[in-house]
Structure 1
């Protein structure tokens, strides 16, 4: 049997840091257009990011607890599961 093991990259270098939340980021979802992502945090907010500029496009407040999961549907609408 031939050895089919592949190398594993143990460390990576961040291309860009996204810092805006006041708490730990617990959920991340990427939109299909790869131009936007949404993050959820222990600060009980969601943030919609423009990946090209690295800026926050929208902050959504009002959650009663920290955001544990974010899902982006194929049509670009997204749901939050707390």
Structure 2
């Protein structure tokens, strides 16, 4: 197994998980779910960054909603 092969395999896995999530969303309730991806121990830092950089290109990431109250005292 070469590094390019592993990266293609990881990309395929991410896309399959995304497809599964989309498919299951049509059958289940509107409850929010969380998925965690784990990597093996001993994975190089470069490989970790390469894999983690794939996620935003495959999955849609939500932005946090920051609510500011008008009654906050000034800092």
TM bucket normalised to smaller: under 0.3
**Larger C-alpha radius of gyration, 1 or 2?**
2
User: Per chain length, whose mean CA-contact separation is higher, i.e. which structure has more relative contact order (CA < 8 Å, sep 6+)?
Assistant: 2
Q: TM-score, normalised by structure 1?
A: 0.20
- Structure (1 or 2) with the greater helix fraction: 2
Larger fraction in strand: 1
TM score, norm. by length of structure 2: 0.21
